[in-house]
């Protein structure tokens, strides 16, 4: 888009990044109120893990992120984005509704939820349905935003654009961790925290519509096409085979799965970990966990700026993966003040995304961008589905006999083995980052270590 001024590109970036910020807010709105939600609804740790993990169910077992990427490459940004961002808004609303007294007292859908899978409470099943719908829309909407960034920024500070997008998106997570413990004390009841998340997601949908209107006016005046794809470059099934033969792409996917599985599911348990191990209040635990996010907000754009001008993408992914392992070992095996590992995790969580996401645009043909990001999202969600459940299972098994009544009387959960599991994922990610750098240094690499912007 050579005819469009840089200021227009950055306006687009801010608008679409806000959509992702609302997405992230909804995802993490429950993290810092886990104990309250369990007490109010009688959920176990495994129940909580199921709600968190059902976000990833459609993208893991129904391969919706892959199909979403294919749909994106065939339908374009407008139709695909509207459909899947709307699903996010609906899912957030259903999740909040499932926790309310209105639903518990026989509200709409209670009878149906009560009739199926009687071993699980209707509230649990309705909230799982909401998370499923939210996840169905969320990952493909992220793929849509990624493609928008490639459309507007490829060859023009793409890494910095991705980094700023991540930083703005992480504001949503930070606000969720800080605000949710405050909002549960509202006169409207503790579920007010979940309803605020649903409303924000609705505002995110409105912002996406604003982007489409803005994009339409710009593309009309600049005579640019809405889609990255030319008419003779539409998706073919052979594109997936070509992606699977790309070793650099495979290493990026495996790093994505292991790294994010060691961060996002951990983040869902982190406030409760800090509350139990260090005796911090729920409010302070949520705020301290948000240090991870504030670190990404500060450092990710700096690392993105560095990547555009100096490259070193594979090396930055390697360093970030190593820092992640160190953080989990510190939290599981030492009693050092949690402020240190939270700060280091913020740096690690800045290094890897700042280098990884724009790297895909270098190692994958442009006409396969949607499909490539979709496959990454789908496989990433395999980890985001499995490891919250596994973490809850390990937590229950390594703390036999502890229940919420005992917790209220002063008992605490021992998170050591749970966090060691996350450390193991970090080690796997470190290995794949090393393999990626080795591949890039071979004759078949894509120049991930070189700069893109002079």
In whole angstroms, give the CA distance from residue 180 to residue 26.
Answer: 10
Token pair recorded at residue 407: 């917790």
Rounded CA separation 367/281 (Å):
50
251/239 Cα distance (integer angstroms): 18
Q: Taking residues 427-435, what's their average pLDDT?
A: 96
**For tokens 């360093």, what's the residue?**
319
Give the contacts of 10 (CB within 8 A, at least 6 positions apart).
none
User: 39 pLDDT exceeds 90?
Assistant: no
- At 356 the pLDDT is 92
Query: Which residue is associated with the tokens 């800080």?
Result: 178
Packed helices 369-397 and 264-277: angle between N→C axes, nearest 10 degrees = 30
Distance CA 86, CA 66 (A): 18
pLDDT at 225: 47
- Both tokens of 193, joined, read 């925290």
* pLDDT per residue as tens digits for the range 177-235: 888 888 888 878 888 999 999 999 999 999 999 999 988 877 665 544 444 444 444 55
**Number of Cβ within a 10 Å radius of residue 206:** 13
Contact 158, 7 (CB under 8 A): no
Q: Report the Cα 376 to chain-centroid distance in Å.
A: 12
**CB within 8 A of 366, min separation 6: which ones?**
150, 154, 228
pLDDT in tens, 400-426: 877 667 766 677 889 999 999 999 999
Three-state DSSP at 449 gives coil
Residues 40-65 pLDDT 10s: 888 888 888 888 888 878 877 777 77
In this prediction the pTM is 0.76
- Whether the CB-CB separation of 316 and 355 falls below 8 Å is answered with yes
pLDDT at 454 over 60: no
Contact 362, 448 (CB under 8 A): yes
Residue recorded with tokens 């509202």? 186
How confident is residue 372, by pLDDT bands cut at 50, 70 and 90? confident
* Predicted pLDDT of residue 404: 64
Identify the architecture of domain 18-440 in CATH. Answer: Up-down Bundle (1.20)
Q: In Å, what is the CA distance from 439 to each residue of 319, 356, 363? A: 16, 15, 12
DSSP H helical ranges for 409-449: 416-440
Q: Are residues 32 and 271 in contact, defined by beta-carbon separation less than 8 angstroms?
A: yes
Q: In this structure, what token pair is assigned to residue 277?
A: 């191990």
Give tens-digit pLDDT for 333-359.
998 999 999 999 999 999 999 999 888
List all residues 6 or more positions away from 294 whose beta carbon is below 8 Å from its beta carbon.
Answer: 174, 346
**Where along the chain do its domains lie?**
18-440
Among 19, 14, 18, 9, smallest CA distance to 152 is for: 9
**100 to each of 154, 188, 205, 399, how far by Cα in Å?**
45, 11, 24, 30
Q: Residue 322 has what pLDDT?
A: 97
Distance CA 454, CA 450 (A): 10
Neighbours of 345 (CB within 10 A): 29
Percentage of the chain exceeding pLDDT 90: 36
**Helices within 105-191 (DSSP H only):** 110-115, 122-153, 158-183
pLDDT tens-digit series, residues 108-159: 988 898 888 887 889 999 999 999 999 889 988 988 998 898 888 877 788 8
pLDDT confidence of residue 452: 59
Residues 4, 370: Cα–Cα separation, whole Å: 23
Query: Which is more confidently placed, 283 or 122?
Result: 122
Radius of gyration of the chain (CA): 21
CA 96 to chain centre: 19
Residues 261 and 424 sit within 8 Å (Cβ to Cβ): no
Average pLDDT value for residue range 260-285:
88
Quote the tokens at residue 104.
């518990």
Confidence of residue 84 (pLDDT cuts 50, 70, 90): very high
Residue 110 C-alpha from the chain's centroid: 30
How far, in Å, CA of 114 to CA of 333, rounded? 43
Collapse the DSSP code of 44 into the 3-class scheme (helix H, G, I; strand E, B; otherwise coil) and give the result: coil
């Amino acid at each position: 888009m050579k005819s469009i001024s840089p200021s227009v590109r950055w306006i687009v970036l801010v608008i679409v990044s806000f959509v992702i910020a609302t997405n992230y807010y909804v995802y993490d709105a429950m993290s810092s109120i886990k104990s309250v939600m369990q007490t109010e609804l009688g959920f176990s740790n495994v129940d909580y893990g199921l709600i968190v993990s059902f976000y990833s169910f459609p993208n893991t077992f129904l391969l919706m992120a892959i199909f979403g990427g294919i749909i994106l490459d065939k339908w374009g940004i407008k139709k695909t984005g509207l459909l899947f961002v709307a699903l996010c808004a609906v899912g957030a609303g259903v999740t909040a509704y499932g926790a309310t007294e209105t639903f518990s007292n026989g509200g709409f859908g209670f009878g149906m939820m009560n009739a199926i899978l009687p071993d699980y409470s209707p509230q649990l099943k309705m909230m799982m349905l909401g998370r499923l719908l939210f996840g169905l829309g969320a990952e493909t909407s992220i793929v849509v935003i990624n493609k928008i960034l490639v459309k507007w920024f490829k060859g023009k500070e793409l890494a910095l654009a991705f980094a700023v997008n991540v930083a703005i998106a992480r504001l949503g997570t930070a606000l969720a961790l800080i605000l949710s413990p405050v909002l549960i004390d509202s006169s409207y009841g503790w579920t007010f925290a979940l309803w605020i998340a649903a409303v924000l997601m609705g505002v995110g949908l409105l912002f996406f519509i604003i982007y489409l209107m803005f994009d339409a006016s710009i593309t009309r005046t600049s005579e640019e096409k809405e889609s990255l794809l030319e008419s003779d470059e539409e998706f073919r099934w052979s594109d997936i085979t070509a992606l699977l033969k790309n070793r650099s792409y495979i290493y990026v996917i495996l790093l994505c799965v292991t790294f994010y599985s060691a961060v996002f599911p951990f983040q869902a348990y982190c406030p409760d970990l800090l509350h139990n191990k260090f005796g911090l209040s729920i409010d302070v635990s949520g705020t301290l966990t948000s240090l991870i996010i504030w670190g990404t907000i500060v450092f990710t754009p700096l690392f993105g700026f560095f990547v555009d001008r100096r490259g070193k993408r594979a090396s930055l992914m390697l360093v970030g993966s190593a820092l992640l392992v160190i953080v989990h070992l510190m939290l599981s095996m030492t009693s050092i003040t949690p402020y240190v590992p939270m700060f280091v995790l913020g740096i690690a969580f800045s290094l890897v995304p700042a280098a990884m996401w724009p790297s895909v645009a270098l190692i994958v043909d442009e006409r396969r961008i949607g499909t490539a990001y979709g496959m990454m999202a789908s496989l990433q969600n395999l980890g985001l589905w499995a490891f919250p459940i596994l973490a809850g299972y390990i937590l229950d098994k390594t703390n036999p006999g502890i229940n919420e009544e005992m917790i209220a009387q002063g008992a605490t959960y021992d998170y050591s083995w749970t966090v060691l599991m996350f450390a193991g994922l970090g080690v796997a990610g470190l290995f794949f980052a090393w393999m990626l750098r080795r591949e890039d240094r071979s004759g078949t690499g894509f120049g991930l270590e070189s700069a893109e912007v002079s």
